[in-house]
Chains A and B, each alone.
Chain A
Amino acid sequence: MTSPVLEVKSVNKTYEITENKRLKVLDDVSLELKLNEIVAVVGPSACGKSTLLDCISGLSVVDQGQILLHKNPLNGRTGKVSYMMQDDVMLPWKNLKENIMLPYEVNGSTIPPEKTDFLIKLFGLRKFMGFYPGEVSGGTKQRASLLRAYVSGHEVLLLDEPFGKLDAITRHGILHWFLTIWQKKKLSVLLVTHDIDEALYLSDRIYVMSASPGKIISEIKVPFKRPRTDDYIATPQYSGLKLRLLNLIAG
């Protein structure tokens, strides 16, 4: 049994909306991510999935509980994990290439061009490199922001609904790339999604969160062997799991 790369231990988070209005978002959330695992987090919208990733990345400070990276408490430090935020955030004054290379710019390091050129082509982003974010589609921005998260280069990758805006063909290509680099680079991935098929296709385990305040109500092991070709979808086991997940999310 490998020890977890990332541990979330009894995390509580409450937002102060106004002085006397408070919103409890995370209620005693615990989970773990082992080396080279893909773990999905599913749950109804506004249950606190993005908040959970914000806390892990250090952007949000937890009220109670701990977040450990290789057993070391993160204590709200940022820049230790790769994080793709939900809204495909791009700096409007930088073109797509500069946006993708932002991790290098922030950390003041030089860019290895051959490596990224290959990825840019694979992501179908080459012809958009000189475009400003305001000039390209949502799907293009989503690919660029996934690439940026990968380029920032940490072994733990947090992805918040990373494939939602892609068309079927691009999505197929990107999922294939994702699974390849995940294995090659031994990445540990925490993936937030509302797409149950996607969770069942990609992940080793699935955590189900309840509606607000977000609580982990179930942990499900995904039994299908990799590589998962289309035939696993046809099994009764698959439809059984899917139904169970749907019921859990619906509450």
Chain B
Amino acid sequence: MYKHFIPGLFFCFLLIIWELLVKLFRIEAWLLPPPSAILFSFWESGSLLWLHTDRTLIETVAGLGAGAVSGFILAVAMDFSPFFKKLLYPFLLLTQTVPFITLAPLLVIWFGFGITAKIILIAVVCFFPVALNMKEGLESTDKNLQKLVRSLGGDSRKIFSLVKLPSSLPYFFSGLRIAAAYAVLSAVISEWIGSDRGLGILLIRSSKSFQTDRVFAVIIFIAFITLSLVRSIDLLGKKIIPWHYKYYKDGVKI
């Protein structure tokens, strides 16, 4: 509790300074609204925010899900087939440097302004961190643990289910965590290109009409959604892989 108290206090202090400076120098609200105006905007545009949130959330979750599942499957397939790994891994490494967000206009040409193009883009963006992390997790599995299951007569499928899969779950979740942040970002940006609904389009509209207080409100809301998503993934990870958090108590291997 105390840990959050001091930074919280400091944050309130900054907000007050902001409020006072805006008032003192009579800065126009469309240039920089005071925190109080932003707060009011939350109340005023609350229903509007929710209206646009559902679309963005659906895109984010669907895209993240599709990307994570296919990334997971590819990593597992590469683990089972060395040939497959040799074939695909160079591409995987190469494509890591491609900013996939730039595919958005192309996807619009192919799939239109609907939700499909957005989900595909998010899935592509989320695919890589999950696939790469999962692959690394599978490869870094302790050889002794694999030896143990093999010595008991276990085949490669047993080794996978009893050793490799649980061992690489922490890697999977750290990939998923990165992907979640990318997913919200990609949803917002792809909505900029064109959409009838979504937080991204609300942001652009508010900006074009110089409703700067609402721009701030939407930005804060997007940050809040990203944070909640990452938090949920962390909680899910803690539930599914408790040994990881016990084994590494306070970040130290015990």
List the interface of chain A (C-beta within 8 A of B).
54, 57-59, 78-80, 83, 85, 87, 89, 91-93, 102-103, 105-107, 132, 134-135, 152
Residues of chain B in range 129-153 having any CB-CB distance to chain A below 8 Å: 144-145, 147-153
Which A residues touch B149, using CB under 8 A? 102, 106
Partner of B158 from the list A54, A93, A106 (CB cut-off 8 Å) is A106
CA distance A85 to B246 in the complex (A): 25
Which of A57, A105, A132 contacts B247, CB < 8 Å? A132
Residue of A nearest to B243 (CB): A93
Query: Is chain A's binding surface mostly helix, strand, loop or mixed?
Result: loop
Q: How far does the alpha carbon of A93 sit from the alpha carbon of B147 in the complex, in Å?
A: 16
Per DSSP, are chain B's interface residues mostly helix, strand or loop, or mixed? helix
Known: A102-B149, A106-B152, A106-B154. 12 other contacts (CB 8 A): A79-B152, A83-B151, A91-B145, A91-B162, A91-B166, A93-B244, A102-B152, A106-B162, A132-B243, A134-B243, A134-B247, A152-B152
**CB-based nearest A residue for B147:** A59
The 29 sampled A-B contact pairs (Cβ below 8 Å) are A78-B150, A78-B152, A78-B154, A79-B152, A79-B154, A83-B151, A85-B144, A85-B148, A89-B144, A89-B147, A91-B145, A91-B163, A91-B166, A93-B167, A93-B243, A102-B148, A102-B149, A102-B152, A103-B152, A105-B162, A106-B149, A106-B152, A106-B153, A106-B154, A106-B162, A107-B152, A134-B243, A134-B246, A134-B253
Q: Contact: B147 with A85, CB < 8 Å? A: yes
Count of B interface residues, CB-CB < 8 Å:
22
Residue-wise, chain B 229-254 has the 8 Å CB interface mask toward A (1 for contact) of 00000000000010110110000011
Q: Are B153 and A107 in contact (CB under 8 A)?
A: yes
Contacting pair B247 A79 (CB below 8 A) = no
How far in angstroms is the closest Cβ of chain A from B61?
27
Most buried by B among A78, A87, A135, A152: A78
| Given A89-B144, A89-B145, A93-B241, CB of A132 within 8 Å of CB of B246 | yes
Q: How distant is the Cα of A135 from the Cα of B248 in the complex, in angstroms?
A: 10
Please tell me if the beta carbons of B153 and A79 are within 8 angstroms of each other in the complex.
yes
Contact with A along B149-185 (1 / 0, CB 8 A): 1111110001000110011000000000000000000
Which partner residue on chain B sits nearest A99 by CB separation?
Answer: B148
Q: Which residue of B lies closest to A77 (CB)?
A: B153
The residues of B that contact A85 with a CB separation of less than 8 Å are 144, 147-148, 151
Which residues from chain A contact B243 at a C-beta distance below 8 Å? 92-93, 132, 134
| Residue numbers in B under 8 Å from A132 (CB-CB) | 243, 246-247
Closest to B166 in A: A93
